Every structure is written in C-alpha cells, then in structure tokens.
Structure 1
Amino acid sequence: MPWPILRTPTVALSEVINLLEPNEIVTASFCSQNFKRLLKRHYQPSSKLELSLKNAGSCTELCGRGRMLMSARHISELNGAATHKSIGINEYKIKFGWDCPILYFEDRVMGTKMIVELVTDLFSSDIRRMIIDRNSTWAIDWVLSRQEKPLSDLNLHMADEEDTVAEDEAAKYVFRNASTTKILVITVNLSENFQFAGQLGSLTDFSIWGGHSVTCDNLMNIDATSICVCHSRLRFADINSFLGHWRSGGSARLEVVHVFFQENTFPEVFDADLEVVETDEVRVYPCSYGTPIELRGGYSIQRMDGVKATINFNHPRMFLMAVWNERAVQMENRF
C-alpha cells in the first residue's frame, strides 16, 4: 500500500527527511514539485553543505561532502550507460543510478546550468569549488553572477585534447578572474611562449603546473600564503633575489613555498647580506593545507623583523622555504 507521505505529520516528516544523505535528497526531489518543496522546507543538514562543480572532460559533476549529487552528460553517452532505464523528460533524459541522478543532454552547457540551478535551489547553497577545463571557462562568470559569495577554490584542469595555444588563453582568462577565489590551481600544459603576468590578488594557495613561465619577479609578486611552482626554470641566482626580497619585508603573507625545477639545481653560495646559516635542526612544519612537513637540517634565514624561515634543498630539483611565523610556531608546539 503506498505511503501518503504528503499527509504525514510535520514532525515525523522532518525527522525522516533529515535522515537522508544529500544525494538521496536530490534523487527524492524528482518525485514531484510538492515533495521538492517539502524537502527544501524541512531538510536541515548537520553541517554546512559546500557544493563543488566539476565541468571538465566529457561530463559535469556536482558534489557535496565528497559525494556526487547530480551529473550532466552528453546524450551520446546514454547508449553506453549501464543498467538503469532512462526516462525522457522534455529536453533531457534521466537515469537514476545507485548514487545520484544522471541527466543526458544534447547541449551540455544547458545541462550544466540546469543541474546547478536545481541543486543550489534545493539546498539554498552556493558553488564554492570549481574544476574546469579550457572549454568551460564560461562557467566562472555564470556561476558568480548567480551568487554573492566568491569561490573558495578554482582549478583549471587539462583538457582531453592537447592544444597549448587554447590552454594559454584559458589560463590568461583564469588569471584575470583570480580575485574571485582564495585557492587557485593551474594544471594545464602551457606553451613555451606563455608569459605569466600581473598581480593575482590576495590568495591563500597558488599552484601552477606550467611553472616555466614564472620569473623571479612573478614569484615575488604572487600574494599568497602558500605557493607551489612546478617545472620551474628559475636559477639559484633567482632564489637569492627572492630571499632578499622576503628578508626585507616582501611577500609578507607567505608561509611556505615549493619550487620544483626542470633541471637539478643545487645550493650554491648564498648572498652574504642574506646572512643564511646552515642548521641541523629537525622540525615539523604544520602546513595549513595538508600533511605536516618534516624539515631535517638545511638553512636558516631571518627576516628584518625577526621572523625566521627554514630553507631546504633536500632534493636536487626542489627548493622549499617554510616561514616560522607565530601561527606556525604555536602549531609546531602542539606536535
């Protein structure tokens, strides 16, 4: 016998709804418009639901709390989709899998917009994280035009087809929009002629895969607490210049910087005015973005205001600098 859920007492209904996981809420919202309104009214997540949008490659995924909530794919993938029968609804077809609904469209841009509108409305939540490729840069402006809060994390991901010129244009576009996020990750193959330009604004974390384009001046102008540059062509003389810049008060927000070189770069002679001294200390640096770093020996440098940093060349292709600001020292003492 069917359960008359719309006539269930409010208290009991609220208890039942709040037992559901976010992906189950999304699936249940397709039952009817009346039931969707009930879900919106009664669902109270135990913790804040931050939505992540991945619009790269052949599909779009919308996630929350590490689980996929809804996916949009091109209609050509429908025939190869396993098991569950599809249902045709207006301009799309839908399959209900074990985890979440999958919507199939002729136009994936329209599909992306639809699932974002459905889920953000259902949970009254903003998109906080985005992973896009060069074919999806349009989504940045579109998402931000719909919400007041900026993104917390923006990742430009490599597209399936290699085209360094197109990747360059996408990277430039993302750099121009860097003020919309706190974490910026660029993991695309940039051309040999690409020029990293301009200030990026105040970031928490900045990471770039095509770091051959990052000059010493660029490194000094990146305003971030954590910097990671891969495939760098910087030389030891550039590292000396950067250390002098930091020691005199530049890059004041910097906490940790990783530079991974294209070629072996061994420590040479530090400039005398840097007053770098060798150390055999073993310390644990409490990275705010991940696993703590164990620092064994290396070099110590002190900023003009007394703040110290540890420099490491423990690998011939890596330079690491960890700043012992007040937060780092307090966190280290807890280990």
Structure 2
Amino acid sequence: MKYLAAFLFVALVSCGTPETPKAYVTSQKGGISVIDIESKQVINDIDIQSSGPRGIGISQDGKYLITANKGDANLSIIDRVSGKLVSHVEVGKNPEFVRVFGDLVFVSTEPASSGKPPAQNDHAAKDDDDDDDDDKTPAQIAVVDIKSGKKLREIEGGPETEGIEFNKDGTQIIVTNEADNTVTIHDLQSGELLKTFDVKPYGDRPRGIKMSPNGNIFVSTLEHSDNFVVLDQEYNHLQTVDTGKNPYGVAFDATGDRLFVASSKSKLLEVFETEGFTKLKDIPLEGKRCWHFSFTPNNDELLLACGRSDELIVVDTNSLEVTGSIPVSGIPWGVVTYPKSIGSLDDVR
C-alpha cells in the first residue's frame, strides 16, 4: 500500500498538482518517515539503505533529503519526491548533526567516540542514546557537495562537536563542542579557527546553537547546567538564561520575537520572548527524549520528535498548547519539512 501511495504522490507532483506540505523524520532504528502535515498521517517510509540515521537536512531547492547514518559512517542522499537513494557518501565515524547551506552539507563526525552509552552519573549523565567519551580528540565537520555526492574537505572542530550554525552573511560556521565546553567559530571556506568562546563560566555542555533571524544574536543551550547563553554578533556573552533540565533543540520563530527550547528531562517545550528572554510559557510534554523540532511551513504549528515515546508531538504556536501526537516508530531523532521552514535542524536561508 505504501508503494502505491508513493507512486500516486510522484504522479501528482509530475502532473503539476500542488504538493501538500510534508514533514520528514529520521528514526534511529529505521529510515525516514514521511508525514502529510495537513492530515497528520505517515504516508510513506523511505529506505535510506543504511543504518542508524540521526541528523537530517533538505536541500535548498527541496530536491534532496540528506541523513547522517551512525551505523555506516556515511550520508544518504535521497531524491525527496521519489524516495529513491541517489548515493551514499562516506564522511567519518559517528556522523550526527546535519546542516545544509547552499549546495553543501555540513555534518559533524566524532572519531574519538566509542559509541558506548555513558555511565549514569546523576545530573551530569547524558541520555543513554548518546556517546559520552570525553576524549579530547577533535571532531571533524565533513563538507559534502550534494549534487556531485562527493566529500570536499573537513573542518576541524572541538571534541564532541554537536551543533552547527552559520552567521548571517554565510562566511563563518559556528559549532558547539561538548567535551571541552567551547563554541568555536571558523572561516567557512578555509576552516580556519577565528575565535573560541569558553562556556565554562556560564555552564556545561553546549549542544544546540541557533542564530536569530536578523543575525544579531546567537543562542546555545548548555545541556548539563540547565540554561542557555546569548551571544552577540562578535560571539561575546550577553546573557545566561535558566531552563528546565537538559535543554537541547533550540530555534527562534520566523519573526525572531520568541525562542523555543526543548528541555528533554523536564518534558517541556519552553517559550521565551527575545527582548529580555523572559519566560512566556512552559508547554508540558508527555513525550520522552524530545530533542529536535521544526515549525510547519505556515508557522502555525510545531512538530517535536520524541525518540523514547516513538512520536511526533504537535504544538499550536499561537495558543502554545499541545494539540496532538503522530506515532512514528523506531526512535525518531530529527525532523525537517518541505516547503522548508525554521527549526532546530533547519532554516529558510
């Protein structure tokens, strides 16, 4: 039945029928689930022909989906409409976070990571799905050309690089490095290290990183100190703001007036206004391990991937209330949409 649905979808698109908005969700024990945003139904499953997908991105033109596959140390490049595999690209050990910029994919890899779950150490312990080796070997950010399917170069990050962001004019890449508590800023083309921001005076374990729509500030969540830091355009500290437990995914809304933070251990989606970062609301979540999220293309809803409850939670961004849940099996990790929209893994540049 799912193959018939996929065939009909391709046929409709090729005939010029307007495409309804879709969400694409990676599951660590599966592939990509395709969700019709209007009906809130899973309408197809895409076989990425690799194992352990986590990070997911979508090309600027919407033609390709890209997943980072931990099990095989590669990327899958998928034709979005047909769901067919275009190519696999080897990128390095333990690829995790994917960001697309122009025709390039940037993916964090962790050559020092063993892949073993961390020892549980009270509040400082990471989620049992994550690696936590604290090895100081620098991570590498692999740079892949989507159209040619070739790895072009690597940018050396810090140990255990997690989040990736770009500055407003696209000349710099900003990465969060968990194991040495730094945010490092690099020249996008050369990879040269331009600046290091030490988060230790403000907290522990930088993970999510996001630029405001106007490019004036950056926010990085500090997972093990239950807060986030606000940095200016020159990556100087402006403010530290408390959150619930274990904040990870972070994104501004399209206007830049509100900031959304997923605090997984508190089972909250927290909403802040961005003038002074005063809390607007805590949205309670029943889901477990809710890390990454995306706004829908019309910005009226937010879709939150909750890996340990096998679901996508739906939040109304006007009322700031949970309105539903979409079952997605296999430990969902990341979510993006087409048409492209803002989220913890994507933006609309």
Calculate the TM-score normalised by the size of structure 2.
Answer: 0.30
Calculate the TM-score normalised by the size of structure 1.
Answer: 0.31
Q: Using CA pairs under 8 Å that are at least 6 residues apart, name the structure with larger relative contact order, 1 or 2.
A: 2
The structure that has the greater radius of gyration is 1
**Between Structure 1 and Structure 2, which shows a larger proportion of helix residues?**
1
